[in-house]
Structure 1
Amino acid sequence: MFISNALNSSIRQRIAKGVAGATLATTALTAMSAIAVAQADFPQRDIRMIVPWSAGGGADAISRKISSLAEESLPTSIYVENIGGAVTATGLMQLGQARPDGHTIGVLTYDSVVTLPRGNMVPGYSLDNLEPFARVTQEADAIVVSEQSGYSSYEELIAAAEADPGTVRIGVAPEGSGPYLAVRRLEAATGVSFNVISYPGSSTAEAEALLSGEIDAAISSLGDFSGILSSGDALGVVELSGSQNAAYPDVPPISEFGIDLETGSFIVLAAPANTPEDVIETLETTYHEAYQSEEFQEWVTSIGVAPGWLGSEEVNEWIESYQQKTFDAMDELNL
């Protein structure tokens, strides 16, 4: 009897273990299936697009336009949230800390890729926390003068700066930014000296300063100043590029004046690091379709911005190369 009870007990234990093992296996399979379904069904809710600049600038406008077209291919919406501050770090640190499921994405600009990494300006900020999946634009910087400045050409602006050093007021983003580096490189190339005034935030502040007569000129992309250019309150006098911008045939590239100086900005789209590959693929494909649409191509060129697509396999290599070239230029100027 004792032996029989012991035997029965042993059998019951084995059965219980078997059931528990089967239950665990079933639970694991169910969880794995749920993850697979979740990824296959991406997106499951609206996608949050973080633009790390205030509303109204070029990066904001381009991000909103391409996202509005991208969401047409999705069952959910893409909504833009402007989170400025700390030269894009505030918004992008939120992006890096978001759940890596593709439902939060964001925008990288020059400052995100160059200014912040160069100076280690914000503790905790790192591109390692982000996964770039596309570049959608690459636009040259340009010099724009206000209508009330009295200048109507690049030659007149340089002649005035040469004749009276430090008096021509030119607005740029803060030290470390692309436009700031551009004006210092221009001074080195031409031998002139400007009164450089920096404006934090987007190019909206520089546009307002041009309108008020606070500055004579400013450096940013022609797209950033499209509003005051179309109204006639400002005039583009040169683009810091080696080729002519077809959208602005009256604005010559600086190469026409014998100067080798190409600087500019770009829009890169990114997700948090460790976002699943299939989700990245869906995001890349969706935005690529929006990028290729006739509406986006016509719109982006109409505001003077050059479309320039790079996919997830190319954009990281491009960022690394761009960083190195820019850091080398900064080293030459001791910036």
Structure 2
Amino acid sequence: MKASASLAAVVVAVLLSAASISALHAAYPERPIQVIVVFPAGGTTDLIARVMQPAFSRALGVDVVVRNVGGGGGTIGTAEIARARPDGYTIGLSPIGPTTTQPHLRALPYDTLTDLQPICRIYDSPVVMASKKGSGYDSIAEIVKRANAQPNGVIYGSPAPGSIPHVVMVALEQAAGIQMRHIPFKGTAEGMRALLGGVVHIYGDVANVVPEYDLQPVAVYASERLKEFPNVPTVKEAGYDLSYSIWGGLFAPAGVAGAVVQKLSAACRKALETESTVEGLRRQRTPAAYLDAGEFAAFVRSEHEKNGKVLSAAGLKK
């Protein structure tokens, strides 16, 4: 009899505890949410966060505070997201580099696949290979021809070793069986000056650098042609099945309750569908590309694996 009473007490306690936890998640959020942006204020990632901030706040019903934690190519801020308390009140916006390329290049205080919980993808910008107008580097076929005639004679730039603009060129070298020379710079602006000055011949980056610097688009690393450049072929049309983009999304530390993640993901979607957010992203030439938590997790894992293989084959992996 006593045993039965004890068992009943345990069951009641468990049920009450479960009900309490359920009520806690149902009430979330009850206070402001902090979004860590892993690059300094004024950059592309920061501007995207601030465009989305008002609608995201309205969707959640609480204030959303953006805090910039720059340094280490985005890895310092991403590490802070990973070690935050897993209660859903500290999340962050981090792009492809700190989550799927940098972890392969050096030891970091986080593992993307085990220490971060994807919430939603926000944007996805296909990479465009570009050259200086009139330089003669106006097609993949011409670039491959020149590289075959003179190994390391074709020079390309990137904003940093292991960055996506670097990775896409390494991938082309591997696919085409050619050797080109890489010169890294301290950011896109410096790289664009080098391209326009003839120091490098080609450069891969997001589409908005083409009109901004009056460049010649050569090819796009996308599954289909971009509406901005309808006459520019894809890299696949040139014979190389390569697809790369520069994307970013919201992450939480691992361990956040599933119900909380789903609320954040739903609010993310609602914010991205809001007219003010759509218009703000359009002005930045950054297309919204929502994926929910499950889809984004699978996408991040796939990107992490793909970029790791490219960097390993290039001898760049740690």
Q: Same fold (TM over 0.5)?
A: yes
1:16 is aligned to none
1:264 is aligned to 245
SS in 1 for 2:76: helix
Instruction: Pick the aligned partner of 1:221 from 197, 200, 206.
Output: 206
2:64 is aligned to 78
Instruction: Pick the aligned partner of 1:203 from 164, 188, 205.
Output: 188
Higher-Rg member (1/2): 1
In structure 2, do the counterparts of structure 1 residues 79 and 204 end up closer, same or farther at CA, with 3 Å as the change threshold?
farther
In structure 2, do the counterparts of structure 1 residues 170 and 273 end up closer, same or farther at CA, with 3 Å as the change threshold?
same
How far apart are the structure 1 equivalents of 2:120 and 2:29?
18
2:220 is aligned to 239
For 1:239, the aligned partner's letter is: V
Superposition pairs of residues 139-178 of structure 1, within 5 angstroms: 139-147=125-133, 150-151=135-136, 153-155=138-140, 158=143, 159-178=145-164
How far apart are the structure 1 equivalents of 2:250 and 2:199?
34
Report whether the alignment pairs 1:230 with 2:215.
Answer: no
1:323 is aligned to 304
How far apart are the structure 2 equivalents of 1:81 and 1:207?
29
Shift of 1:208: 4.9
Report whether the alignment pairs 1:115 with 2:101.
Answer: yes
2:6 is aligned to none
Shift of 1:288: 0.7
Is residue 95–residue 247 contact of structure 2 (8 Å, CA) maintained in 1?
Answer: yes
Shift of 1:232: 4.8
Give the percent of matched residue pairs that are identical in Structure 1 and Structure 2. Answer: 26
How far apart are the structure 1 equivalents of 2:189 and 2:30?
35
Superposition pairs of residues 35-184 of structure 1, within 5 angstroms: 39-122=25-108, 124-127=109-112, 128-147=114-133, 150-151=135-136, 153-155=138-140, 158=143, 159-184=145-170
Instruction: Pick the aligned partner of 1:309 from 275, 290, 300.
Output: 290
Identify the range of structure 1 (50-59 vs 295-304) with the bigger mean alpha-carbon deviation: 295-304
In structure 2, do the counterparts of structure 1 residues 278 and 213 end up closer, same or farther at CA, with 3 Å as the change threshold?
same
- Number of matched pairs: 300
In structure 2, do the counterparts of structure 1 residues 250 and 79 end up closer, same or farther at CA, with 3 Å as the change threshold?
farther
Please, which runs of 5 or more residues in structure 1 have no aligned partner?
1-28
Is residue 101–residue 307 contact of structure 2 (8 Å, CA) maintained in 1?
Answer: no
Report whether the alignment pairs 1:292 with 2:273.
Answer: yes
SS in 2 for 1:275: coil
For 2:244, the aligned partner's letter is: T
Is residue 57–residue 203 contact of structure 1 (8 Å, CA) maintained in 2?
Answer: no
Identify the range of structure 1 (317-326 vs 279-288) with the bigger mean alpha-carbon deviation: 317-326
Shift of 1:119: 3.6
Per the normalisation by structure 2, the TM-score is: 0.78
Measured on the aligned residues, the alpha-carbon RMSD in Å equals 3.4
Is residue 121–residue 296 contact of structure 2 (8 Å, CA) maintained in 1?
Answer: yes
SS in 2 for 1:166: coil
In structure 2, do the counterparts of structure 1 residues 303 and 220 end up closer, same or farther at CA, with 3 Å as the change threshold?
same
For 2:59, the aligned partner's letter is: S
For 1:112, the aligned partner's letter is: P
How far apart are the structure 2 equivalents of 1:277 and 1:189?
40
In structure 2, do the counterparts of structure 1 residues 218 and 78 end up closer, same or farther at CA, with 3 Å as the change threshold?
farther
